[in-house]
Structure 1
């Protein structure tokens, strides 16, 4: 069984913000697999895809409802509840330090200044889980980091992000079928074009 977690903040106020790209990716995976999120065993929205005659491994998609900085609470609880091995966990989040639309997958690593990842690392007591970051651009530097990640994409940025969300959903499905190494081989090389200002 695989556990795929998209990080973000719950509620309409955060919908469409840079911080919620992880939610957008798991929403897209759920749409493709015809799944619906429901209240889960932890403070999270959960959608599950049972294995059907060995076609694909069982998948649990997760949107923690604990808010970004406390994401680890839900992730840790679900990892224990479903008895997920760390090699079978993928956490998806935004990255303001990656170019808009760029995807970077890693087998393990630090939080890199991301509070949601820091919470997951703290709760699991390890950096040894796969993560995929989606570049959301730097936004308006005058707003500070919190203001930037909570801002919405501009009209010219949105198509780039929509394409990146689709590619990240492809990467998440590839993770289920082939693991993080294949995701890294295929998706870390992808180049994107910056929108014109």
Structure 2
């Protein structure tokens, strides 16, 4: 079985370790745990990881957030991966810091990465893992907050949730979306 794991974020040092790049961090944690390496390829940094008889194509799109759909669609088609075997990972302002929410489908909720993927795939029926980043920012400062770094006080929760995210990906791939939702939706 083949899976596409797409961690969303923006390339460039200025975006490293920002809330908006948590999808990249989850992808990195998964690849690191399973001994993979990234190579720059078409529209993404890509790593191929094998685990428990499954192949994972792990992406960090180089298209920037707003064009994430281009990378996801390209790799889905190239690797012949079914829609239900993709998992998109991204930040979510609507969830408290450290909260995970797995869904088999749903709206883009204003997230530009999801909006791009839904427009490109012409459906919202694909699995996603939302990683809560909270919404502790003054009115009108959303962009600064999302592109900002984690507070030192948040780091223990972020590190723990990164590990849970990797476990959630593994559960999704081995036991399916329903079981993973039951276990990891907190």
Please classify the TM superposition score into its range, dividing by the shorter chain length: over 0.9
**Rounded Cα–Cα distance in structure 1 between residues aligned with 2:139 and 2:159:** 25
| Partner SS state of residue 96, structure 2 | coil
Gapped regions of structure 1 (runs ≥ 5): 191-197
Aligned residue in 2 for 1:137: 134
**Rounded Cα–Cα distance in structure 2 between residues aligned with 1:85 and 1:100:** 31
Which digits, 9 at most, give the CA deviation of each residue in 1:145-196, with x for residues without a partner? 21111011101011111111111111011112122111101001x3xxxxxx
Aligned residue in 1 for 2:55: 58
Q: Which region of structure 1 is more displaced relative to structure 2, 64-73 or 42-51?
A: 42-51
1:172 aligns with 2:169: yes
1:1-197 pair list within 5 angstroms:
1-40=2-41, 42-50=42-50, 55-142=52-139, 144-188=141-185, 190=186
**Rounded Cα–Cα distance in structure 2 between residues aligned with 1:86 and 1:22:** 19
Which digits, 9 at most, give the CA deviation of each residue in 1:116-156, with x for residues without a partner? 00001111110010001010111322452211110111010
CA RMSD of aligned residues (A): 1.2
Shift, 1:50, TM fit: 3.7
How many residues are aligned here? 185
Q: Report runs of 4+ in structure 1 exceeding 4 Å deviation.
A: none
Q: Which region of structure 1 is more displaced relative to structure 2, 138-147 or 57-66?
A: 138-147
TM-score by length of structure 1 reads 0.90
**Rounded Cα–Cα distance in structure 2 between residues aligned with 1:182 and 1:160:** 23
**Rounded Cα–Cα distance in structure 2 between residues aligned with 1:104 and 1:46:** 24
